[in-house]
Homo-oligomer: A and B are copies of this chain.
Amino acid sequence: MTEGWSKKVFLRLEPPSPEDPASLQERILKGLSGSASFSEGRREPVRIRPAVLGEAGEILKQQGWEVTAVLGFDGDVWELLRLEAGDTAKEHYGLCVDLGSTTILMELVDMNTGEVRGRESTFNPQIAFGEDILTRIFYTKDRPEHRVELQKAAAEGLRELMEHLSEKTGADAFSCASMILSGNTTMIHFLLGLDAFGVFQSPYAVETLAPDVCRGEELGLPFKGFVYCYPALANYLGGDIVSGMIATGIPDREEICVFLDVGTNGELIVGNKDFLLAGAGAAGPALEGGVVHTGMRASKGAVDRVSASEGQLRVHVIGEGQAEGICGSGIVDLLSELFLNGWMDIRGRIGEDAPPAVKTPEGMAVEYAPGLYFYQSDVDEFLKTKAAAMTMVEYMMGLIGLSMEEVGRFYVAGAFGTHIDKESGVTIGMYPDIDREKIISPGNTSLLGARKMLLERSAREKAAEILERMEYVQFGAVEDFIHRMAAARAVPHTDLQRFPSVVKKLEERMKNKGC
């Protein structure tokens, strides 16, 4: 049986009698150690704070001796957080969070069944202090009072989500006894009110990579429970990636796995049960459409699918309304179609024979929707980033003498991976040309890992073990990285042999064109 970060244990206590005048504390502890669902017979130490004991005494004396003990794990021992009258063990919830710099996502999880009762998201209120992480880091530099602002903003975001979850599910999120957070190193620093400048500045000594469990109250969160933040490997390799390892189970797998998380930053893990290499690089925003002129997130108005037939581009717009821009999956489709139709060459140059091609002051561009242009410079930016990501992967594989064919699972985490069309991804060389079922979009592994941790406390030791095993690869230090990247910039790659299925597709298209 797995054991989560909180417990609710129904206790049928005996009221004190002359034969058994033990203290209330002793009765509660005895009840717990006698409860199969709590300790399985072991006498686990359970701490009780004076205020909680006082309230517990009131409940026992006024509401009777059948109570439910709510217990939270403080990182070292269990602590009684409160007694509830009667048997409430069935209403037992916990919270898990993906603390992103843009979006905070929270789930209310049934601790008995593991079922997600509700999921809510909100923009990180820290955005008010800077859209991107670096702006926020500089905002707080040498200004402890600004750190307080960011800390409060993070707490407010979490509080808001707890409120929404309570409304939506009818369960009281504020009564949860535990919250597991996964986020990058900077986000965790901000949440804890810590100076994050070390994330950015050499020698990259941060305040903490493995914060201790703390109380919600310490963070200004309106709940009496404990908060655990996933530990990180390094400044640019945060707890969200370790959480992803727990989510995917890569560190226990037989087959070679690649784990690519493209968010604000790009993080990469290559490994299995025998080894774990980790690296990070600036491989993010471009892939999500961040650096593209008309790029936008995958929300209403974004072109998320592009196809071509009979010399025409056809686009799908999220929300079915007018196109306002293009998101990551749209870009990948677009580039794939441009390439397969011969409208863009292997070097990523848009050809003048492309149907919607136009010449602009910025050079060639494709008008993918009325009035919306995808410029040559956008293509270049995007390919540069995909090249960076792919080179990281290849370089790491090479480090251990493996080729891409040996990849057993290629995970692309996050919303990006979820929306990308696998074929298009392979076509432009963003994904390796392997069996498509080996390309996996596990979704938000940061959140998923947080949920797993919430429900299975032993994952904490697992996370520590993963960190012990992980070897951090510094790409900046790699000599021929630039050279390798240039090769990976081509569509799909200068070495076409690596992409036999793309070659096949090209050949088929040619044949069809020839018809």
The 4 A-B pairs with the shortest beta carbon distances in the complex, nearest first, are: A16-B205, A50-B192, A25-B208, A21-B203
Given A48-B212, A49-B212, A214-B49, A24-B206 contact (CB < 8 Å): yes
A-B contact pairs, 5 of them (CB 8 A): A23-B210, A26-B209, A48-B208, A51-B218, A54-B193
Does A202 touch B at the CB level, under 8 Å? Answer: yes
Q: Shortest Cβ distance from A172 into chain B, in angstroms?
A: 23
In the assembled complex, the Cα of A27 lies from the Cα of B208 at a distance in Å of 10
Q: Shortest Cβ distance from A427 into chain B, in angstroms?
A: 40
| Chain B residues with CB below 8 A from A77, complex form | 76
Q: Shortest Cβ distance from A146 into chain B, in angstroms?
A: 13
Q: Shortest Cβ distance from A128 into chain B, in angstroms?
A: 21
Residues A252-293 near B (CB distance < 8 A): none
Does A144 touch B at the CB level, under 8 Å? Answer: yes
Q: Which residue of B lies closest to A27 (CB)?
A: B205
| Chain B residues with CB below 8 A from A26, complex form | 208-210
B205 touches A147 (CB 8 A): no
| Chain B residues with CB below 8 A from A54, complex form | 144, 147, 192-195, 207
Counting chain A residues whose Cβ lies within 8 A of the other chain, the interface size class is 35 or more
B76 touches A203 (CB 8 A): no
| Chain B residues with CB below 8 A from A210, complex form | 23, 25-26
In the assembled complex, the Cα of A420 lies from the Cα of B296 at a distance in Å of 89
In the assembled complex, the Cα of A210 lies from the Cα of B24 at a distance in Å of 11
Query: Contact flags (1/0) for A6-21 with B, using CB distance below 8 Å?
Result: 0000000000111011
A194 touches B57 (CB 8 A): yes
| Chain B residues with CB below 8 A from A193, complex form | 50-51, 54
Residues A52-104 near B (CB distance < 8 A): 53-54, 57-58, 61, 75-77
Does A356 touch B at the CB level, under 8 Å? Answer: no
Q: Which residue of B lies closest to A48 (CB)?
A: B212
In the assembled complex, the Cα of A195 lies from the Cα of B54 at a distance in Å of 7
In the assembled complex, the Cα of A275 lies from the Cα of B375 at a distance in Å of 91
B23, B50, B207: which contacts A214 (Cβ < 8 A)?
B50
A206 touches B50 (CB 8 A): no
Does A346 touch B at the CB level, under 8 Å? Answer: no
B24 touches A208 (CB 8 A): yes
Does A506 touch B at the CB level, under 8 Å? Answer: no
| Chain B residues with CB below 8 A from A23, complex form | 198, 205-210
| Chain B residues with CB below 8 A from A49, complex form | 212, 214, 218
Query: Contact flags (1/0) for A367-404 with B, using CB distance below 8 Å?
Result: 00000000000000000000000000000000000000
Query: Contact flags (1/0) for A193-226 with B, using CB distance below 8 Å?
Result: 1110010001111111111101000110000000
| Chain B residues with CB below 8 A from A206, complex form | 23-24
B209 touches A25 (CB 8 A): yes
Does A45 touch B at the CB level, under 8 Å? Answer: yes
